[in-house]
Amino acid sequence: MQLGGNVNATQFFRTHGLVTDDARQKYSSRVAQMYKDKLSTMSEQAMKTYGTKLHLDPAPAEVKEAKEQEVDWFAEHGKPTNTNETAEQVPAGGQSLSSEARLWGA
């Protein structure tokens, strides 16, 4: 299924305006005949290129250009920004403040 398959057929049908669910109409239409011809041409070309080879060699690794490092916005802005250390301190009375009281600086 290197060349054909349901996904490739469905994509071909949709790009050529065939959007029916009726199997008889779908596979006997002019678009289906165009797909059969295209698939036949592609399979002939693949046979000329690869023959009856079962396992194909992997494609050579592409050389990637050195890109600038993208700045991760979430990593940059996800750090806590509250540097007010007094908000976390326990008051002199020994009672701890609720989180709401700390927000208001009580």
Give pLDDT tens digits for 42-70.
889 988 888 877 766 776 766 555 566 77
Q: Where are the domains of the chain?
A: 23-53
3-state secondary structure 33-67: HHHHHHHHHHHHHHHHHHCCCCCCCCCCCCCCCCC
pLDDT confidence of residue 90 = 52
Can you give the C-alpha Rg of the chain in angstroms? 32
pLDDT confidence of residue 34 = 93
- pLDDT tens digit string along 10-47? 888 899 888 888 888 888 899 999 999 999 998 899 88
How far apart, in whole angstroms, are the C-alpha atoms of residue 68 and residue 24?
53
- The residue type of 41 is T
